[in-house]
Amino acid sequence: MKTLMVLTSHDRLGDTGRKTGFWLEELAAPYYVFKDAGAEVVLASPKGGRPPLDPKSGEPDAQTDLTRRFEADEEAEALLSNTLRLDGMSHEGFDAVFYPGGHGPLWDLAEDPASIRLIDTTLQAGKPVALVCHAPGVLRHATAPDGRPLVEGKSVTGFTNTEEDAIGLTAIVPFLVEDELKRKGGLFSKAGDWAPYVVEDGLLITGQNPASSGPTAERLKAYLDNR
C-alpha cells in the first residue's frame, strides 16, 4: 500500500496575526495507521518543504502518544521537512490519498487547482480519498464527472459549526465546513462535539474532528484491505 498525504502550506489565521497550519494529531495518527501496516507514505504540500504546524496542536493538552512518537521519529520528521510540491503529484502510483486538517487547508487547499485536480482524478480512477476535520472543506470545488459538486448527494462529515464556535473562530475562517458541505448538496451528519465520527460513502471517507483522524485512517485501510 502506498498513500499520499496532503498538507497545507498556509500559516496565517485570517487577519488575527496568529499562526495556523496543519493539526499535528491529524497527521501523526493516520501516519502510523499506514506505517504500522507496512505502507509507504509520501507527504506533499502546495509549496513543498516544511509545512506550517498549527502551534496550538503542539501544546501539551493537544499532545498524544502518537504526536510524541512522530516528533521523536527521525524518518517521519525528515519526510515532513521535505514534502513534495503538490502540483507535481498525481494519483498514479498511489493506492489512496489522505488529507489531514487544521485550519490552513481552508485558505489554500480549498482553492488550489492541483488539489482539486488530484481529488477529482483519484476518485475517477477508482481510488479512495479520505479527509478529516477541516480538510473535508477542500471538497468545495471538487466535481463529479458530470460537473455537479462532488459531495452532492453524498454522505459526509467534517468539523462542525458548534466545534468551530467553541474555539472562537466562526468569524475568522473563510467558510464553515459544515455549512459549505451542506450548501454543495452534501448529506452532512455528525456526532457530539469532539467525539470520533467517520462517514464512508463509496470512495469518499470523511472524519469529523481531530479525534476522528485515526479512525478515518483505519476506515481507509480497511477499504484497501477489502478490495
Q: What pLDDT is recorded for position 187?
A: 98
Q: Which residues of 8-22 are buried (b: 16+ CB within 10 A; e: fewer)?
A: bbbbebeeeeeebbb
Q: What pLDDT is recorded for position 23?
A: 98
Q: Which residues, 6+ apart, have CB-to-CB distance to 222 below 8 Å?
A: none
Domain map (residue ranges) of the chain: 2-225
Q: What's the pTM value of the predicted model, to 2 decimals?
A: 0.97
DSSP letter (8 states) at residue 143: B
Cβ pair 158, 99 in contact under 8 A? no
Question: 111 in helix, strand or coil?
Answer: coil
Q: What pLDDT is recorded for position 133?
A: 98
Q: What is the pLDDT along the chain (227 residues), one digit of tens a residue?
A: 999 999 999 999 999 999 999 999 999 999 999 999 999 999 999 999 999 999 999 999 999 999 999 999 999 999 999 999 999 999 999 999 999 999 999 999 999 999 999 999 999 999 999 999 999 999 999 999 999 999 999 999 999 999 999 999 999 999 999 999 999 999 999 999 999 999 999 999 999 999 999 999 999 999 999 98
Q: What pLDDT is recorded for position 79?
A: 97
Cβ pair 107, 10 in contact under 8 A? yes
- The CB density around residue 69, as the number of other CB atoms within 10 Å, is 14
Let me know if domain 2-225 sits in CATH 1.10.150.120: no
Alpha-carbon span 98 to 51, nearest angstrom: 16
